Amino acid sequence: MNKDFFQMHLAESVVLSSRNRKKIGEVMELLAPWEIQVQGVSEFESIRDVAETGSTFAENADLKATTVARQLHRWTIAEDSGLCVPALGHAPGVYSARYAGEPSNDQRNNTKLLAEMSSLQGDDRAAYYVCHAVLSDPAGQIRVRVEGRCWGRILTQPSGDHGFGYDPLFLVPEYHLTFGQLAPAVKRHISHRARAFEQFIPQMIAVLQPH
């Protein structure tokens, strides 16, 4: 597959339907080896926030991608991701970013999660991050849909300053470190988002590459 086709056949960059700067940065880094240019939706003043009214990560990703694609008439990537704790009925789930209410606040979300899990021990502290990523064509049709997961466990107190969201609480057993402690370069290879985009990128290339 030839990286040059992006410059030859995509006159415009691909839009990422997200306003989260850290999330945009992670996605840009994942796509950088393919020289795929990405613009965050915040660069377009006419686009308002898309209401995440779906009951699943898949539904929210579809909503964010198709809504923006139809308004801008551009290829659009969207992803919805979050933390799930099976012992809490898979909460916070789709409410991960606003678990402690609006406006979204990582510290308050972490504090609430620790309180909800205060009586849980051992295997009951197992958790996984999930990322559902999609690609919409300019007409608003989903052309690629993938999901990636990364399993770990929730600590009783935060550790590390890297990442965002619940990263300082999420221990990756293979490394004995939290996402908040792991170097960003390592996280880019093992995270739920990395695993999703490992599947996503080849499929996106196949869709965009001229036949």
pLDDT at 113: 98
- Cα separation, 141 vs 191, in Å, equals 27
Compute the average pLDDT of residues 131-154.
97
Question: What are the residue ranges of helices labelled H in the chain?
Answer: 4-9, 21-31, 57-72, 106-116, 184-190, 192-208
Domain spans in the chain, listed from the N-terminal domain onward: 4-208
For residue 49, say whether it is annotated as part of any ligand binding site. Answer: no
CA dist 72 and 117 (Å) reads: 42
pLDDT at res. 22: 80
**Cis-peptide, bond into residue 103, ω within 30° of zero:** yes
| Predicted pLDDT at 178 | 97
80 is catalytic: yes
* pLDDT bracket for residue 8 (50, 70, 90): very low
Contacts of 71 (CB under 8 A, 6+ apart): 46, 47
113-122 pLDDT, tens per residue? 999 999 999 9
Is position 145 annotated in a ligand binding site? no
Query: 165 labelled as ligand-binding?
Result: yes
Burial class (CB in 10 A: 0-12, 13-18, 19+), 94: buried
193 labelled binding-site residue: yes
How confident is the model over 27-76, as pLDDT tens digits? 888 888 888 888 999 899 888 889 889 999 999 999 999 999 999 999 99
Q: Structurally, what CATH architecture does the domain formed by 4-208 represent?
A: Alpha-Beta Complex (3.90)
The single residue of 62, 80, 123, 124 carrying the catalytic annotation is: 80
